[in-house]
Amino acid sequence: MSNLKYDPEFLQLLQAANMPPSAEPKGAHELRQNNDTIMAMVAAFFPPSPGVTETIFSVTANDGTSLAIYKLTPPTVKQQGSPQPAIIYVHGGGMVSGSVALFKRSAEYYATQTGIVVFCVSYRLAPEFPFPTPLEDVYSGLKWLQSNASEHNIDPARIAICGASAGGGLAAGVVLKARDEGLSPPLAKQVLIYPMLDDRTKIGPENPLSQFLTWTAQRNEIGWGSYLGKDRSNVSPYAAPARETNLSGLPRTFIDVGGLDLFRDEDAEFAARLAKANIDVEFHLYPGVPHGFDMSGRGLAVTKRAEEIRVAALSDF
């Protein structure tokens, strides 16, 4: 018997919204349209961060494509003097949707709250650009930042990477690639917000969790199928980090996830395996809230608590 239930405040929010259940998308482009529409709506509720300066630079991807990287500088950051830390923020969207523009207020919020410069890479999306392109795009942004650290008064040994949802999966994949390629200096920390880590995650309608999901098993399969293709006989851990068998040598890690999130079990297992590999890991499970609870539940006590803890994690590296 299940005793899963919504957080009382989140339930009140749902009841007040009185939204009819949405039909499941039939493919990647319909999923993209649905996701981007919803994310644009919730982004409008995110408070602006006055004083953040936006500068756009160009990064050359490994296939020669020019990508935009957004530098978000909070008003309190030191422009001169000793080199400062930096955060690379990777937006979500299930591998098929999302953009820097849709997640910019979230990135600006973390820049303002931490007083740390945030860089956002405009990576390409599946299915037009399946694995490894999105991952390589983010990795190119990391390499660009390290190579140009002095120009931006950044300490290359104090770069953290943060990602939400699919962005969390991409961030974790970049961390694995950086470790394996001997990136020097290594990344200082990874902060993974309800990350999408395991293409093997599947639950049926009989699972009590299924009735609470905002990011459903069907949407998840569309996202992973678009990113990986039909043949999953040899999936790279860089694409699905939960498949990595060796988690040693990774940086300090922060993970959080809602108790009603499809990614709950894969995230908890990944955190446990990191701990067994003697990696410094901090894990938070928030009962009663689904995927993206912080985006839809602005102002709720659980969101305030989660964001306060995330800001502390992003400030400590």
Q: Which pLDDT value is given to residue 89? A: 98
User: E strands within the chain?
Assistant: 53-60, 66-73, 84-90, 117-121, 154-164, 189-193, 252-260, 281-290
What separation in angstroms does the CA of 154 have from each of 77, 85, 160? 11, 6, 12
Domains of the chain with CATH codes: 28-315 (3.40.50.1820)
At 78-120, the pLDDT tens digits run: 777 899 999 999 999 999 999 999 999 999 999 999 999 999 9
Asked whether residue 75 carries a pLDDT value surpassing 90, the answer given is yes
Instruction: For residues 187-209, give the mean pLDDT.
Output: 97
Q: Which residue has the tokens 């498949």?
A: 243
Provide the whole-model pTM.
Answer: 0.97
pLDDT band at 203 (very low <50, low <70, confident <90, very high): very high
Predicted pLDDT at 54: 97
Average pLDDT, the chain: 96
**Contacts for 228 with CB less than 8 Å, ≥ 6 apart:** 130, 131, 199, 235, 239, 240
